[in-house]
Structure 1
Amino acid sequence: MQPAGAAATLLALLAANGTSVLDCVCDHINRVTGAPGGSYGEKRLWWSYCRYPQSYDVYVKCDELAPPFAVVSAVAALVPSSSSSPCGPPVGDEEEGCGGAVEVVRGLARSTPDQLQTWHLCSIIADRCFRSCSARGLNDTEWNAEVLAMDHVRHPILSELLHAARRITRAITARFPCALRNTLSFVRSSGLNETELQAEVATYLERLSSYWRDSAQLLSLSVENLSQLLVPLAFEHSGDHTNDQQLHVWIKDMEHVRDMLLTKLRGWVRDVSSLSEQIPNYKVEADQKNPGKYILRRPVLNEDLLTFHQEHPSFRSSFTALCEERQPEASQMFGLADALHSLYRFNLFYEIFTSGVGRIVDEEWQLEDRSNATLSVDTDCMQLLANALDHPTCPLEDLPPETIQQRQQCREQLWDDMVQRSPHIPVTSYLAYTQRVTVNLCLLAWMTVNSFGICQDVPFSVMQSVHDARCYFDSPEDRSCLESNATDAICSVSRAILLLKCNDFSFHKSLDLCSVHLYTNGSNSTTDKLSGLDRYEKATERTLIYKDSLSNATLKYKDFKIDSLRPLEISFIAVNIIFRFLTAGVYTYLPQLRNLPGMIFLSFQVTGIVQILCSEVMYRMAGVPDLATAVLVDSALTLLSCIWLNSFCYQMYACIRHLRLPNDLLPAEARKAFRRQVLYALIAWSIVCGASIALEKTSRYYLVHSRIIFLVGISLSIGYNLACLGLVGYMYLRNKKSMTQLKIYSDDKFGSKRQLFYVSVKTIILSGVCIIIRIGFHQAEGIAQFVYYVHIATMVQGPLLFVFFICNKATLPLLKNRLLACWNPHIISLQQELCSTAERNLALRGNKQFLTVESSL
């Protein structure tokens, strides 16, 4: 046969029967002539196809190789055997030379066209496997206890699935030499002119892109096959189950392990597919400084990112202790997942690096260095992340729907917080202190994507992560550049930030692994312990200290509840409410206090009572409404209290300026003036609250603007109070100086030390300085304990108001006489003595005479 005809005949056989022809010839060379064959054609086929691979490496924890669970036997079932034709049925028996293929191979000579070493072989292998390597009709098999228990049903299905897995494995590994030859062919193309070089580069890149694209499809087929294969494969090698109930639980747990493994593998599939789309963007040009060499210019998304994939997930060491109580066979389940992950990672996922270039120049873009940046994020979500790390749960357990929904909501909330990039949210309410927390960006990324975090169900695609992170850092407002949805974006970007910018927040722990060589002839061998494989799991000591300090400072007290102080807090709240009610009751009960300033002060008291009931009773004890609404209500009522103080201080200023006592107004006039004051107060209050609520409810991005409006409103209100009180003091000193100049003297002083103390405390309360001090503590970062203590201290405001506004020489005697008059109506207070003693006696005598006349009638 002519050499050209031999090559054409061989390609025709490959196109018709796939790689089964080559596998049959390779098997013939192994058993008859011995590797690498006798003739030129056999040697050529051996070095280009048959020799690769001869074994598959699997890295497992050394203790997993010991009985009772031999993971090697389960993984070895997926390795193609050299004693048969795993990629298809035999074409012909040995006497016929594999359907004539042996004779054709022997007919190949040095003058044969180089079609066997061209890209045709890779294309044929991939195309053939796409059509025939999947286990058709088995994707819908439901592995329940009944099906697994019946050997005559399980064995045929398992055999077909394993056969398909071996064919896919062989197709993936057989294509690696083709891609390698494509690279070497490019290296030998030196000496070309610019036009020829660009044509050669275009062909080279197209073939390399095609290789990655086909690899992604083959790997996707393998993952799809594994999703059906893993449960029966584990059952076959895990021993017997005593009863149906245990078997049912085992199946359910094994499905969880399968989902965890598939999540890892699907991230690979996506990365390989993304890489095939990026390779055409590579640029190759001649190196002017080094003739005969080339410069490869790559985009940011290139094959180097694939090295960030975790080499060994170590499901077994991470989750076995958590799941042993639920599932005694958890160690075996996770061990099998680790071994299969290793098989795919080191054998079916080849990283083809471009060679033959003098220099590789990547796109000049790096993630903005924000490793020391801080973000203001939702405290409830941070608490959820901290709880997931501090108290991890077994991943085999079914999470409640509300927990899953909470995690998804937190992922969306954290992503919004990250895009917002706000360093700190102004706090106007002690409840708002629990709503936001400032956290380091790297710490947030580590807590989010940790293996115990909230991103376990999101496939780890490093190409997508870097793409999304680039979108985040370069154009955070342009959501259209994101490939991830809002639920997964925080996971994607956090992974890129953690891997590329936060080296201090990840820990490379060297594992004690053993390498197992699974040979295609069915044998295997085990090497000694290896120390070259790392995994990214545990955090550095700095990270743990950072997380603990964050948790202790804020998250632990996010609800301002310290168990040891809980009874004291409840007592203070109760006393505060009681005394506020008493103060309001006194102002309602005594007619002398129902003047204009008294009604304004009563409004201030009622506002404070409503604020305590809303924040302390409804939210803190009953849990309603939600935190964001409770913060709005609390901040709004704080502002309203300040506005009431504005009206009160203005009345003090007006009384002194116009030399008018509060009781000079008639009751009708006082009520009219009070309604006018209420109208002014509510207009100002409604404008501020309406603007704040509109901003906060419109978008979370405007949360900081909403809080600033409240903070500015409260600050201006308190500033107005201080101005009014300052004017009152100035007018008093001026009047006192004027009286001195007029030589008007009096033995009466302004007041005793007690009265001066009372006036000073009243001035501080009415000015609202205490509110500013409280907000100042709220603004401080990392001292939640002190904020909690200040919160308890503010609960004494009720008793203070009662003491300094009721227990004085003006009000207390009135209250005392009014209460005593209820038991003895004949008691006449000093204020009721409107005439002299003689006149009272005369009136009493007249009453007695009238009673005598009336009795005689």
Structure 2
Amino acid sequence: MHPLGVAAPLLALLAANGTTVLDCVCLKIHISNFEGYGADWVYSAYCGEFRHTDVLIACKTLEYRSIAVGAMLRLITSWTLGPRRLGFEECDDGLAALAGLTDTTDSYQLTMDLACFVAADCIDSCSASGSNITEWDVQTLTSDDQRGPVLSELLRTLRHITKAIRLGRKCAGRQKWNFLQRHLNKTELETEVPAYLEHVSNYSRDVAQLLSHGVRHISAALVPFAFEIMKMDPNDERLSTWINHVEHMRDMLHTQLGGWVQDMQYVSEQTANYKVEEDKKSPGKYIIRLPLLNDRLLSYHGQYLSFRDDFSAQCEKQQPEASPMFALADALYGFYYHVWFNEARSFLPLYEAHYSSFSYSRVPNEPPIDIKGEEWQLEDKSNATLSVDTGCMQVLANALDHPTCPLEDLPPETTKRREQCRVQLWRDLSQGSPHIPVTSYLAYTQRANVNLCLFAWMTVNSVSICQDVPFSMIQSVRDARCVFGGPDDQPCPQLNATDAVCSVCRAILLLKCRDFASTSYLEACRAPMDHRGWYSSNRGYYIQEKDKPTNRILSYKDNLNSGTLKYRDFKIEGLEPLEITFVAVNILFRFLTAAVYVYLPNLRNLPGKIFLSFQITGMIQILFSEVLYRMAGVPDLSTTVQIDSALTLLNCIWLNSFCYQMYACVRHLRLPSDLERAEARKVFRRQLLCSLIPWSVVLVATIALERTSEYYLLHSRVIFIVGISLSVAYNIACLGLVGYMYRRTRNSMRQLKIYSKEAFGSKKLILYMSAKTVTLSGIGTIVRIGFHQAQGIAQYVYYVHIATMVQGPLLFVLFVCNNATLPLLRERLLARWNPDVIGPGQELCSSAERNLAKRVNVPAAAAESTL
């Protein structure tokens, strides 16, 4: 029901035709210069109030002065000179109704009634016939007969919405809520404040509906509006591409404006939760307690856009008209922020109550009202560290380093990957994943530890992966409280996993990471305009005062780009040939070492079989992680990491068996070749069983944990770390016992005064055996894992990863190129090349004896093989 108290003839016309009769009257007054009190009143109350405005936009946008001025001039002039006209009969009836008004009429009451009628009427009827048009083609856009009427109707509806928002604020303020200036008792206050809050809730709900209409109509009008403002050539062959780009820009602008609607809806819901309570510290004074989700959060909406600064550089190659296109979007946002959003929220308690309280705070009789907002109980998170998926961090870093033009259609793979990353990053953020230990280079590339503020900045940066998520500040704070709230908070509603990380990161950045949030500083200009353009041709525009960024903030800004270096490239393209070479050399020497142990009979003893198992496991690990995953991309990263970690643990267990055999040989003074082959095979099977059982238990436990939930990834990695650490500790204990027995034996020989021409252990031999001991101990594995844990820059870890590929040549040198193995290998190869060659210790007295030896050796070898 429309709250009207105007004259009866005007009432009847408005009830029958809505505000269209007022538009017609305004047009006739403007053209025919009607005079009289009624004409002057309706012109000042409805027609002429909106003939000038000023808009705050980025100064760089005014470099395209013709675009910005043309757009706003078209919008301002459309307020008064609407194209739709009623018949002359309705206009004449409207003018006749106004003629009956005299200066004795209560003009204030009449103005308030008219304002309330316009606002209520628009909520029900402000919808243009072209508001459902979402796609334009070249034919319809270039046709004046098809484009013109639709655009005119849309602009007329936008004019009505603008008037409805401004007049709605005037209607809402018709009742003077002066409880802030009066000393009321508790009963009176508890009665009046809820009524006021209910009034504010209804107002914000109506504004949300008007904003919803307005945003929908802006989206519908943007393509034809841009076509006319930018004066595009209808015969341009690139017009189809231009239309597609403008539609993308329309979606970007709709995302920004859609946040206004959501936040106004949240305000209307939350206003009922404002509480009035007596100040316990000051009896007689009262506090209006605002909840966390209050209207003050609306101040975080930016007053102007920076589309042109953010996106023009990367879009100019694809679209030469990108800069003026973005300048148009910036101008429209600044214009409607001023005449819609800023106008609507100026009535809310954020301004009305605060300013009223402030204006009376210096009066001796201080009002007994204080307004306090709830603080977000999130401790300082500026130094907090979060463990997130490294692949998604790479996506964030790539988006910042190589931003794409938002006017272009992204490949489906890119869009899908970004959505997957938003879901994955939300899981990481909501679960609060701590620092996850890594066991290999691949595990390092799977998880990244990032500063929370830096992570929030990288996520919601204007060129990052959250471009399509509406800027709803109240929803952002609500979602963030769900993640970081205290134990007394209410259960969180089910959040949209695709958009939640964008929403939460926006709240963290704006409320708790102010230094990181200072991403850009645009010089803002206020452009005062009327229906003729600028107020004055010699005045132009003036620069609005803005605070200069502090040195600390500038330092943060400069360090942000360098801070993301650690998440940019986990592989250096310039070093890829070197990495491939090192991997190939590692595999080659591991294969050669294994081949030597298979080829020489003296090495096919129990320790040799264990060492051969160690080499085969190492080759399988390299083939999985360095060849199959890197080149073929299979299996997936998490599975590859699990295989790599499991094989690392198995390698350590093989070294456990090898070190134990060394200790057993020294302890029992028995050479490895003393065991019979049957006994050696039996012992090897027992060692194999003892090695695989604990390894299988650990592997099954980690697989079960990681497949159950990503939250248990931490426990899985901890199990691997503990297993590897215990294995290395066992190796060190065994080798320590061997060293202890060596020193005790040497001291005993010295006490017995046993001397030999050969030194008990030369410095060269001791150095050689020390290197061999360190290799067998597995300390290198622990050092590598520790380096991965400590280092934060991926390139350094990549260097260490390449350096570990020399393990193959090192094992070949230590276990093949020594005084025991190398001569045997050389003689075996020479004997195969030339059977008549006699090696050292094989000299015989005559050729007859050599032939006899051959005949004896051949049957013996055959019998042995048969046995």
Q: If the TM-score is normalised by the length of the shorter chain, which range does it land in?
A: 0.7 to 0.9
Question: Structure 1 residue 734 and structure 2 residue 747: aligned?
Answer: no
Greater shift in the superposed pair: 196-205 or 596-605 = 196-205
Displacement of 1:259 after TM fit?
A: 0.9
Q: Does the 8 Å CA contact 2:130/2:150 hold for their aligned counterparts?
A: no
Other-structure match for 1:623: 633
Pick aligned residue for 2:642 from 605, 619, 632: 632
Equivalent of 1:531 in 543, 555, 565: 543
Matches within 5 A, 1:595-634: 595-634=605-644
Q: What is the distance in 1 between the residues matched to 2:84 and 2:189?
A: 37
Distance 1:842 1:30 in 2: 130
CA contact (8 A) 1:9 1:104 kept: no
> What is the match of residue 363 of structure 1?
374
Partner of 2:412: 401
Among 728, 732, 745, which residue is 1:718 paired with? 728
Residue 599 of structure 1 aligns to which amino acid in structure 2? K
Stretch moving more, 647-656 or 815-824 = 815-824
Matching of residues 386-425 of structure 1 within 5 Å: 386-425=397-436
Give 1:607 shift.
Answer: 1.0
Aligned length: 831
Q: Which amino acid aligns with 1:74?
A: A
Structure 2 Cα separation of the partners of residues 679 and 381 of structure 1: 41
- Distance (Å, rounded) in 2 between the aligned partners of 1:220 and 1:430: 51
SS of match in other structure, 2:695: helix
Residue among 69, 74, 84 paired with 2:71: 74
Q: Which residue is equivalent to 2:788?
A: 778
Between stretches 463-472 and 364-373, larger displacement belongs to 364-373
SS of the aligned residue for 1:515 comes to: strand
Q: 1:707 to 1:201 in 2, by over 3 A?
A: same
Going from structure 1 to structure 2, the CA distance change for 1:316 and 1:439 (only over 3 Å counts) comes to same
Take 2:322 and 2:158, find their aligned partners in 1: how far apart are those partners? 25
Partner of 2:555: 542
Q: Structure 1 residue 348 and structure 2 residue 358: aligned?
A: no
Contact 2:570/2:795 (8 A) holds in 1: no
Alignment correspondent of 1:331:
323
Change beyond 3 A, Cα 1:794–1:449: same
1: CA distance, partners of 2:195 / 2:508: 35
Aligned counterpart, 1:821: 831
Return the alpha-carbon distance in structure 2 between the equivalents of residues 758 and 167 of structure 1.
90
TM-score normalized by the length of structure 2: 0.86
Rounded to whole Å, the distance in 1 between the matches of 2:798 and 2:727 is 25
Query: SS at 1:652's partner residue?
Result: helix
Letter matched to residue 151 of structure 1: D
In the superposition, relative to structure 1, how do residues 239 and 705 fare at CA in structure 2: closer, same or farther (>3 Å)? same
Who is 1:203 aligned against?
195
Q: Which amino acid aligns with 1:402?
A: E
| Residue 225 in structure 1 maps to residue 217 in structure 2 | yes
Amino acid of the structure 1 residue aligned with 2:418 = R
SS at match of 2:388: strand
Code of the residue aligned with 2:448 in structure 1: it is V
**Matched residue type, 2:444:** Y
Letter in 2 for 1:642: C
CA positional deviation for 1:704: 2.1
Quote the Cα distance in structure 2 between the aligned partners of 1:477 and 1:400: 45
Native 8 Å contact 1:376 1:417 kept in 2 = yes
Match of 2:677 among 644, 667, 672: 667
Deviation at 1:364, TM superposition (A): 4.2
Q: 1:832: Cα distance to partner?
A: 6.4
Residue identity in the other structure for 1:493: V
Do the aligned partners of residues 603 and 406 (structure 1) sit closer, same or farther apart at CA in structure 2, a change above 3 Å counting?
same
1:750 to 760, 768, 775: 760
Q: Flag structure 2 segments of 5+ consecutive residues without an equivalent.
A: 358-368, 857-867
Q: What secondary structure sits across from 1:245 in the alignment?
A: coil
Superposed displacement of residue 89, structure 1: 4.7
Q: Is the 8 A contact 1:428 1:711 kept in 2?
A: yes
Judged with a 3 Å threshold, the aligned counterparts in structure 2 of structure 1 residues 537 and 72 are, in CA distance, closer, same or farther, namely farther
Q: 1:586 Cα deviation (Å)?
A: 0.7
Instruction: Report what 2:18 is aligned to.
Output: 18
Distance 2:693 2:136 in 1: 68
The alignment partner of 1:307 has SS state of helix
From 497, 520, 523, the counterpart of 1:511: 523
- Using the TM superposition, give the Cα deviation of residue 225 of structure 1 relative to its aligned residue in structure 2, in angstroms: 1.1
> Which whole-Å CA distance do the structure 1 matches of 2:629 and 2:549 have between them?
38
- Conserved 8 A contact 2:50-2:76: no
The counterpart of 2:446, out of the listed 419, 422, 435, is: 435
- Which of 165, 169, 172 is 1:172 aligned to? 165
Superposed, which structure 2 residues align to 1:244-643 within 5 Å? 245-284=237-276, 295-349=287-341, 350=343, 351=345, 352=347, 353-355=351-353, 356-357=356-357, 358-474=369-485, 481=492, 484-505=495-516, 506-507=518-519, 509-511=521-523, 513-519=525-531, 527-532=539-544, 540-552=553-565, 554-559=566-571, 561=572, 563=574, 565-643=575-653
Deviates more, 1:256-265 or 1:504-513: 504-513
CA 1:831–1:69: 2 relative to 1, 3 Å = farther
Q: 1:568 to 1:292 in 2, by over 3 A?
A: closer
**Which of 95-104 and 529-538 deviates more?**
529-538
Give the C-alpha shift of residue 512 in structure 1: 5.0
- Seen in structure 2, the aligned counterparts of structure 1 residues 52 and 90 have a Cα distance that, compared at 3 Å, is farther
User: Which deviations, in whole Å up to 9, do the C-alpha atoms of 1:16-72 show, x marking residues without a partner?
Assistant: 44345666777898899999x758x986x7887677444232345567667884433
Deviations 1:642-679 (A, max 9, x none): 00000011111122222322122221221121122112
Quote the Cα distance in structure 2 between the aligned partners of 1:813 and 1:584. 17
Tell me the amino acid that sits aligned with residue 464 of structure 1: Q
Query: Cα–Cα, structure 1 residues 259 and 287, in superposed 2: closer, same or farther, change >3 Å?
Result: same
In structure 2, the CA distance between the partners of 1:286 and 1:181, relative to structure 1 (3 Å rule), is farther
C-alpha distance in 2, partners of 1:157/1:50? 23
**Equivalent residue number for residue 853 of structure 1:** none
Moved more, 270-279 or 499-508: 499-508
Quote the Cα distance in structure 2 between the aligned partners of 1:809 and 1:194: 100
Offset of residue 266 of structure 1: 0.3
Q: Pairwise CA RMSD of aligned residues?
A: 3.8
User: Partners of 1:292 and 1:81 in 2: how far apart?
Assistant: 53
Contact 1:271–1:462 at 8 Å: present in 2 too?
A: yes
Deviating more after overlay: 823-832 vs 658-667: 823-832
The corresponding residue for 1:790 is: 800
**Aligned partner letter, 1:317:** D
Q: Which residue of 2 aligns with 1:55?
A: 52
Displacement of 1:497 in angstroms is: 1.4
Q: Please state whether the residue corresponding to 2:53 is helix, strand or coil.
A: strand
Structure 1 gap ranges (5+): 849-857
Shift of 1:142: 3.3
Cα distance 1:17–1:597, how it changes in 2: closer, same or farther (>3 A)?
A: same
Q: Is the 8 A contact 1:371 1:441 kept in 2?
A: yes
Whether the aligned pair in 2 keeps the contact of 1:87 and 1:170 (CA below 8 Å) is no
Change beyond 3 A, Cα 1:697–1:588: same
Equivalent residue runs for 1:3-152 within 5 Å: 14-20=14-20, 38=37, 52-60=49-57, 69-79=66-76, 89=86, 96-98=93-95, 100=97, 102-103=99-100, 108-109=105-106, 124-136=117-129, 138-140=131-133, 142-152=135-145
**Contact preservation (8 Å) 1:368, 1:473:** no
Give the alignment partner of residue 807 of structure 1, picking from 783, 799, 817: 817
Between stretches 130-139 and 604-613, larger displacement belongs to 130-139
Provide, for residues 663-697 of structure 1, a one-character-per-residue CA deviation record: whole Å limited to 9, x for no partner: 22221221121122112111111122222222223
Report the counterpart of residue 365 of structure 2 in structure 1: none
Q: Cα distance 1:801–1:522, how it changes in 2: closer, same or farther (>3 A)?
A: closer
Range with bigger deviation, 578-587 or 236-245: 236-245
